[in-house]
Structure 1
Amino acid sequence: VRPGDHVCLSTLANCGACAECDRGRPTMCRKAIGRPQQPFTRHGEPLYQFASNSAFAERTVVKAVQAVRIPEDVPMASAALIGCAVLTGVGAVLNRARVDRGDSVVVIGAGGIGLNVLQGARIAGALTVVAVDSNPAKEEAARRFGAGHFLTSVAEVRDVLPNGADHVFECVGRVELVREAVDLLDRHGQAVLLGVPAVDAEASFLVSSMFLDKSILGCRYGASRPQRDVALYAELYREGRLLLDELVTCTYPVGDFEEAAAEAAAGRVARGVLTF
């Protein structure tokens, strides 16, 4: 990376030297989990950095490993989404679940993460892709990103997949939906947890239901390797296979941050982007 390059920033400030980094698993680097950095100062006092990034500013300070060069023809507003929702959602499909051609996929929650899971499933070659969201207004976007079926209730999934699904992604962060995700699994199926509930939340499932080689997988940041994956996703975008522009529902001047946050909280945007 050189001055003037266009870059995408990841939130993963991994050390690059530990055993996990050496194995190609930077999301498991112990120096990148729960250890916020203090690269800034104000009036001589050190300040913490949010998500190793603090990008709601015209300038920021990151580790070199976090800055990945991207082609200049990738629009900046679209590229801004790669470093979080895209790495998490698409990465969960390709890296963590390793969805294969012909697999069946259910995605619970069609927000910013869920839409990227949907397009990850499409890229991976999944045969049956079902999106579930209680908001019927999200159907158009879900189908655009890769859903072949859109349902407003988890109870309807068995009408499409009577035997259950190979992969179920919970993208909301509600413990009752974690249970639903596990209950929807076919034999040898896996539930992937992407939604983030309260830190002390507990979920339950029938232990007896797991003995047919079923799995529950946690997933941090799409099990991504940003230096590889950001470049890959930028190229998939350039080839028309990865949707980025369509994720940007609206752009806002940075001064309208509160409006952008409210729109996102209400589910009226897939992703809003702040501009300077």
Structure 2
Amino acid sequence: MPDVKAVISREKDAPVSVETIRVPDPGPGEALVRVQACGVCHTDLHYKVGGIGDDYPYLLGHEAAGIVEAVGPDVDEVAPGDFVILNWRAVCGQCRACRRGRPWYCFDTHNATQRMTLADGTPLSPALGIGAFAEKTLVAAGQCTKVDPRAPATVAGLLGCGVMAGLGAALNTGNVQRGDSVAVFGCGGVGDAAIAGAVLGGATTVIGVDVDDRKLEWARRVGATHVVNSRREDPVERIRELTNGYGVDLAIEAIGLPETYRQAFYARDLAGTVVLVGVPTPEMTLELPFLDVFSRGGALKSSWYGDCLPSRDFPMLIDLYLQDRLPLDVFVSEEIGLEDVEAAFQKMHDGDVLRSVVVMR
């Protein structure tokens, strides 16, 4: 049972701390992973401020890549020495979604059975069942996806959550096609990944919408053909101007706000698609004229984790990165240590970074 350093959130909205934790040896169906890098994601901040639950203390971090050090009995997906990306949707293979050939909708995903603990034995709640702001972590073997080890861990790990959510919103949920027009509302990490996904899928007009010129510049770096600052101009009208008056084939909302969702709804062409990948808060409500929902046709979809299947999508996306067809390096704003996570949360909140990435030295 190794003792390692990790980032802990002990109570709601309190500063995180770096502490020693104990990681059990892997049992049946489990894997011990030496974490090499882990991105700082908004979901970790949600845990810290009590936006997800109150099962403190939390072991934060989930957007990670590393090396499998050991596996328990009955594990054949991965072996010691494998370079893996961690995912938070280890599919069961038995639920009604899996049996219908739609495992990306699995209704019974699973995590490691054993709990990691503080040095005094207090059980920890790992963020999204992973807990990777740690030198080592224990996960279900199905949460490990083997990929090409030539990819740096700093970029590979980002596919574990936010970047995959955005890419998948465009490629999987939105089913972007060659020649499509796409607008993405919100050009942070998830939104910019959606832009990159739209480009990868063959969209020829890709419009990034945000209120921050810094983020709009990031959007251009990942492939946006046009950008719109919605503080200065009406994004719906501008998007119509850029699409010969029609609106886009696909509008992706990557913030989780009713106002921007309405903008996405009206910025699409007749029979166009809206995809919500931004995460709303529980008190939010949305009101739309019911006749507009009917008369505009098309599809209104929600995208959870980009409707991804890690075993299918992670290796493919890493291969595209290695072919210089997917600019994952753009998403790494800075490399930091475990002790810098609290400051990274503030930078993320202020919009100063796409991703801070913790690197285990």
* TM more than 0.5: yes
Shift in Å, 1:274? 0.9
| 8 Å CA contact retained: 2:181, 2:205 | yes
| 8 Å CA contact retained: 1:107, 1:132 | yes
Shift in Å, 1:4? 1.3
Shift in Å, 1:45? 4.8
Classify 1:37/1:27 alpha carbon distance in 2 versus 1 (closer, same or farther; 3 Å).
Answer: farther
Q: Secondary structure at the match of 1:8?
A: strand
| 8 Å CA contact retained: 1:25, 1:223 | no
Say yes or no: does 1:165 pair with 2:248: yes
Count residues with an aligned counterpart. 275
Say yes or no: does 1:223 pair with 2:299: no
Shift in Å, 1:36? 9.8
Q: Give me the whole-angstrom Cα distance separating, in 2, the residues matched to 1:72 and 1:24.
A: 29
2:273 alignment counterpart: 190
2:353 alignment counterpart: 269
Classify 1:38/1:190 alpha carbon distance in 2 versus 1 (closer, same or farther; 3 Å).
Answer: farther
Classify 1:188/1:118 alpha carbon distance in 2 versus 1 (closer, same or farther; 3 Å).
Answer: same
Unaligned runs of 5+ in 1: none
Matches within 5 A, 1:233-248: 233-248=317-332
| 8 Å CA contact retained: 1:129, 1:148 | yes
Task: String of CA shifts for 1:59-90, please: whole Å, max 9, x gaps.
Answer: 11111111011111100111110111221111
Classify 1:22/1:85 alpha carbon distance in 2 versus 1 (closer, same or farther; 3 Å).
Answer: same
2:116 alignment counterpart: 40
Matches within 5 A, 1:52-131: 52-131=129-208
Say yes or no: does 1:209 pair with 2:292: yes
1:177 alignment counterpart: 260
1:252 alignment counterpart: 336
Classify 1:48/1:16 alpha carbon distance in 2 versus 1 (closer, same or farther; 3 Å).
Answer: farther
Q: Which amino acid aligns with 1:259?
A: A
Structure showing greater radius of gyration is 2
Deviation larger for 45-54 or 266-275: 45-54
Q: Which amino acid aligns with 1:181?
A: A
| 8 Å CA contact retained: 2:112, 2:138 | no
Classify 1:145/1:37 alpha carbon distance in 2 versus 1 (closer, same or farther; 3 Å).
Answer: farther
| 8 Å CA contact retained: 2:84, 2:145 | yes
Classify 1:49/1:28 alpha carbon distance in 2 versus 1 (closer, same or farther; 3 Å).
Answer: same
Deviation larger for 228-237 or 155-164: 155-164
Q: Which amino acid aligns with 1:226?
A: P
Q: Give me the whole-angstrom Cα distance separating, in 2, the residues matched to 1:241 and 1:117.
A: 15
Task: String of CA shifts for 1:165-208, please: whole Å, max 9, x gaps.
Answer: 11100001111111111111211111100111212311111222
Q: Secondary structure at the match of 1:81?
A: helix
Shift in Å, 1:221? 0.5
Task: String of CA shifts for 1:85-106, please: whole Å, max 9, x gaps.
Answer: 2211111111111011111100
Q: Secondary structure at the match of 1:246?
A: helix
More helix, by proportion: 1
Classify 1:130/1:118 alpha carbon distance in 2 versus 1 (closer, same or farther; 3 Å).
Answer: same
| 8 Å CA contact retained: 1:107, 1:169 | yes
Q: Give me the whole-angstrom Cα distance separating, in 1, the residues matched to 2:211 and 2:113.
A: 38
RMSD across aligned positions (CA): 1.8
More strand, by proportion: 2
Unaligned runs of 5+ in 2: 1-77
Q: Give me the whole-angstrom Cα distance separating, in 2, the residues matched to 1:24 and 1:76.
A: 31
